Structure formats: structure tokens, C-alpha cells
A = this chain, B = another copy of it.
């Protein structure tokens, strides 16, 4: 982390076993004007992403998921990702992730990004979900018809610039 980074007082990060609430994220990125150019003008667009537990994965019929996380490091990773996004785009962001048992159709992750420029809001929102999947210490334990399995995706390495450039590229710049 760079101690010279701009403080984003209204960025909202949370990891919780409670049901997620998109309105809370949108409120976080639009209310309480902070001391930034974004607030002086007000957001023109707010994008959001909600990740939902699907009933199918890799041909297996999924019954439910259990999410485990290393909570203090999850929050630090959220801050890192949010700062990366705010350094690159003119955005205020929110990022909430749920842990514990989730049923099919429940939301596991919610992201919101507000910006005067809709291109920035879209790019930041997409970037953040890609980075969540790359470096946030959370694991899905999948319970399916016939067994269970820990899902393993990316080796987490926040300093891997190739991964970060991939996320920037997918986000469209």
C-alpha cells in the first residue's frame, strides 16, 4: 500500500454472514459527499454487479455452497482492490462479500461503482469482480448431488502484475 494514496472515506467494504443488500452499497457510493471531485459534480452513473449462487457447476447439480474466508485479509484485499480501481478510474466503490452457507439464488458478492462517467463506472465494476476472483482469500465449498468439493481457482498474488493487467484488459481499460 502507498501511504500517499487519496483517502476514499466513503468506500464501503464488508465481509459478513448476513444477507447482502444492494441498496446499502449504492447508498455508500452516492451519499455523504466526500472531499473529491466526484462528489463536487455528483455521480452520473452507478453500475453494480451481483454474483448469485448457481444450481449447476461443471456439470454437477449444486445443492448449496459454504463460503469460508480469512476475514482480516479479505478486508485488506478489498481495500487494495478498491484503491487500485480509484487510482485508475474516477469512481467511488463499494464491495461486500458474504460468507457461510448460501442457498441457490442467494447473492454471494455485491459491487457498486459511481462515477460522473459511465465508462469509468462500468470498467471499475468489472475490474473489481475480476480482482476479487484473483486475490481475495475466500473459498467456495461446493455441496452437490453425490459429494462435495473445495473449488480452487487462482493462486492469490496481489503483486502479480500479469494478473492485474488481465483484469484491466477485461475491464476495457
Interface residues of A (CB under 8 A from B): 22-23, 26, 30, 41-52, 54-56, 104-105, 114, 116, 118-119, 121-122, 125-126, 129, 170, 172
- Copies held by the complex: 2
Q: Are A122 and B116 interface neighbours, CB within 8 A?
A: no
Q: Are A30 and B42 interface neighbours, CB within 8 A?
A: no
Among A43, A49, A129, the most chain B Cβ lie within 10 Å of the Cβ of A49
Q: Are B52 and A46 interface neighbours, CB within 8 A?
A: yes
Q: Are B23 and A52 interface neighbours, CB within 8 A?
A: no
Q: Are A52 and B45 interface neighbours, CB within 8 A?
A: yes
Taking the closest CB of chain B, its distance from the CB of A135, in whole angstroms, is: 17
Q: A105 to B104: give the CA distance in the assembly, Å.
A: 35
